[in-house]
Amino acid sequence: MLLLHYYLPQKLIKDNQKMCGIVGYLGKQNAAGILLEGLKRLEYRGYDSSGLAVFEDGNLIVTRRVGRVKELVAAVKKAPSQSSLGICHTRWATHGVVTEQNAHPQLSSDGKITLVHNGVIENYNTIQKFLISKGYTFSSETDTEVLCNLIAYHYAKEKEPKEGSRFAQSVRKAILHVEGTYGLAVLCADCPNEMVGARHGSPLILGVGREEILLASDVAALVSRTPEVVYLNDGEVVQIVGTDFTISTLDSEDIKPIINTVDWDISEGELGDFDHFMLKEIFEQPEALENAMRGRFSLDQSTAKFGGLNLTPQDLRQVDRILLCACGTAWHACLTIEFLIEKYARIPVEVEYASEFRYRNAPLDKNTLVMVVSQSGETIDTLAALQESKRKGYTTLAITNTVGSTIARESDGGIYQHAGPEIGVASTKAFTSQLMIGAMLALFLGRLRDMSFNDGSELVTGLKKIPDLVREITQHCAQIKSIAKKYTKKQDFLFLGRLSMFPIALEGALKLKEISYIHAEGYPAAEMKHGPIALVSEECPSVFFATEPDTLAKVVSNMQEVKARKGQIIVVRSANCPLPEGLADDEVIIPECHQAATPILASIPVQLLSYYIAVERGCDVDKPRNLAKSVTVE
């Protein structure tokens, strides 16, 4: 009997912290081309190494390469296969070296099973010891190889069942012993017409095409083949035989699949005339903002309306506190949304890092509404914060860009961003779209409370103008590019803004450091005196935001403090915020707009500034080192 201890000390975890993209194909076409095409669309999930397994003449043939998917494509081209069954993987690792041995697919030591895995097998150490005692050998440092051998062990032991498949049954048996998270696609050397998938904690989506079935971690990899998808839930196993599939629980109870049709324009995932997805997505912001607003205003009521909240106005009037949870850029969006909701709806809001909240056991009361914000809808910490809130009985809502994502499905209600696919690892259009939805939410909640009809109406009118104003700013990209060129060699930057500009300062600093590897810090402008001012010198420029006439005098004096210490100043200022002559070294002027939308407009110049600095420095803008777009591990 297999005895497992569900505890693994952190120091034993070697190479099992990863998030990845997986694709599987079973159909009538050549699998390799389709798989690699899908894999390219998942590269944002990881790009340290990649691999492919196909079924050839009764053997599982595995090809793996370190580096980008293009390395794998080149290797596969040299040895083309005719197989119409295969799996592939692109990997992102935080522990352990990146080697071919550690790349996926992993192959069991008896050569019977190969699999690709997204997630973490926490009790791999115990399982590995057991498997070694049974004669299995290991050639990688991965937890995935342990799972692969565990399936092979069960496959070897399993008798041919009266019903169902021995292969699928061995996958079920193995994962019953596994602690951790997985999205899996598995092949067996004895089953040329079969693929098995399973999910727990990592996304897995089934694509149902004409005479073909696909598996992938994201619809992006499927949509060029089929718009019909089934989102698998945790604890589900899918067995694909030929062009048929069945979904069941770990206890082999059949589950009726729900087939969804995804509305995804495939050209949105293409670069077109742009050099990088990041630039393309910066320029797509006017449409993304229009899509966030489309059909969501009620002009006769001067308010916003959202179809998917699943809460009555009465429920919402009883909310006396809102907790916003997110990670990364979405967390910065939450800080802006906090500002907007408190200002316009007068509801107290707190913002938490999802990764902290889930372990903090923060006291909430029954009238607290928990909202999570996530572009991908798959970030594991945000998902865990959502699940923890639900477990404690709080009402949960999600703002997400990804229809059908786990967060979208698990929250009680929510708002889709409709920003279109965001491929660049550094978030741009998803961020400003979250700010737009935050402003609309503040309007909606405000109008359920004290906000007047006229104030509501002014806000609606103001928000509707924003897409055109964003377009206007992007037209000045040549000016921002020439500013960027002057600062390319700097190694430190400060980003400073007050009130609603503070989150934009944080986001500006994050954008710059993510893609250009320049150290940058965001601070409330007045806080600069309490520490960051020590960094100011000719070598450390400061980006200031001067967008509000009310606080302009204060921001100007902060700028003078920087100037007095020989710091260079780039300012993003509103047209109605004039500065003393000669104070700023460089400036970008944004149009006047409703105060609720200034954070959106002020974001655009700093996105472009970071982009052009990174390009000048020769950085890989869309795939910055060490980062991945969707973080599906803790």
Residue numbers annotated as active site: 20, 629
Binding track, positions 603-632, relative to ligand G6P; x by CB under 6 A: ------------------------x-xxx-
Binding segment (CB under 6 A) for ligand G6P, from list 281-289, 322-330, 499-507, 530-538: 322-330
In sequence order, what are the residues at sequence separation of 6 or more whose Cβ sits closer than 8 angstroms to the Cβ of residue 447?
301, 302, 303, 304, 456
And the tokens for 516? 């250009």
Nearer to ligand G6P, 122 or 422 (CB): 422
The neighbour count for residue 583, using CB atoms within 10 Å, is: 16
And the tokens for 623? 């795939």
**Contact (Cβ atoms closer than 8 angstroms) between residue 51 and residue 64:** yes
Tell me which residues in 353-382 interact with ligand G6P (CB under 6 A).
374-376, 379, 382
Binding segment (CB under 6 A) for ligand G6P, from list 328-336, 357-365, 493-501, 612-620: 328-336
Asked if 276 touches ligand G6P (CB under 6 A), the answer is: no
Q: For residues 524 and 521, what is the distance between their CA atoms, to the nearest angstrom?
A: 10
Query: Looking at residue 526, what DSSP letter applies?
Result: G
Binding segment (CB under 6 A) for ligand G6P, from list 49-57, 68-76, 327-335, 547-555: 327-335
| Contact residue for ligand G6P among 151, 293, 325, 330 (CB under 6 A) | 330
For strands 228-231 and 236-241, give the pairing. unpaired
Query: How near is the Cβ of 541 to ligand G6P at its closest, in Å?
Result: 24
And the tokens for 62? 């595995």
Nearer to ligand G6P, 204 or 425 (CB): 425
Query: How near is the Cβ of 633 to ligand G6P at its closest, in Å?
Result: 11
| Nearest Cα residue to 53 out of 40, 45, 63, 41 | 63
Tell me which residues in 38-57 interact with ligand G6P (CB under 6 A).
none
Alpha carbon distances (Å) from 407 to 115, 240, 372, 402:
26, 26, 8, 9
Nearer to ligand G6P, 174 or 383 (CB): 383
The neighbour count for residue 290, using CB atoms within 10 Å, is: 17
And the tokens for 622? 């869309």
Query: How near is the Cβ of 383 to ligand G6P at its closest, in Å?
Result: 9
Nearer to ligand G6P, 327 or 608 (CB): 327
Q: Which residue is nearest to ligand G6P (CB)?
A: 328
Query: How near is the Cβ of 407 to ligand G6P at its closest, in Å?
Result: 8
Judged by CB under 6 A, the number of residues near ligand G6P is: 15
| Contact residue for ligand G6P among 19, 189, 327, 621 (CB under 6 A) | 327
Query: How near is the Cβ of 324 to ligand G6P at its closest, in Å?
Result: 13
Q: Where are the alpha helices (DSSP H) in 487-587?
A: 501-516, 552-564
Nearer to ligand G6P, 108 or 375 (CB): 375
| Nearest Cα residue to 460 out of 471, 446, 472 | 446
Nearer to ligand G6P, 490 or 629 (CB): 629
Q: For residues 624 and 610, what is the distance between their CA atoms, to the nearest angstrom?
A: 13
Query: How near is the Cβ of 583 to ligand G6P at its closest, in Å?
Result: 33
Asked if 328 touches ligand G6P (CB under 6 A), the answer is: yes
Nearer to ligand G6P, 181 or 630 (CB): 630
Asked if 427 touches ligand G6P (CB under 6 A), the answer is: yes
Nearer to ligand G6P, 15 or 507 (CB): 507
In sequence order, what are the residues at sequence separation of 6 or more whose Cβ sits closer than 8 angstroms to the Cβ of residue 243?
26, 27, 211, 212, 213
Binding segment (CB under 6 A) for ligand G6P, from list 19-27, 97-105, 321-329, 356-364: 321-329
Binding track, positions 397-426, relative to ligand G6P; x by CB under 6 A: ----------------------------x-
Nearer to ligand G6P, 425 or 506 (CB): 425
Query: Phi and psi at residue 195, in whole multiples of 5°?
Result: -140, 145
Q: Where are the alpha helices (DSSP H) in 252-347?
A: 277-283, 285-293, 313-318, 328-345
Q: Tell me the CA end-to-end span of the chain in Å, nearest whole number.
A: 31
Query: How near is the Cβ of 510 to ligand G6P at its closest, in Å?
Result: 8
Q: DSSP string spanning 574-594?
A: ETT----TTS-SEEEEE----
Query: How near is the Cβ of 405 to ligand G6P at its closest, in Å?
Result: 9
Q: For residues 498 and 555, what is the distance between their CA atoms, to the nearest angstrom?
A: 8
Q: In the complex, which residues of this chain contact ligand G6P (CB under 6 A)?
A: 327-330, 374-376, 379, 382, 425, 427, 627, 629-631
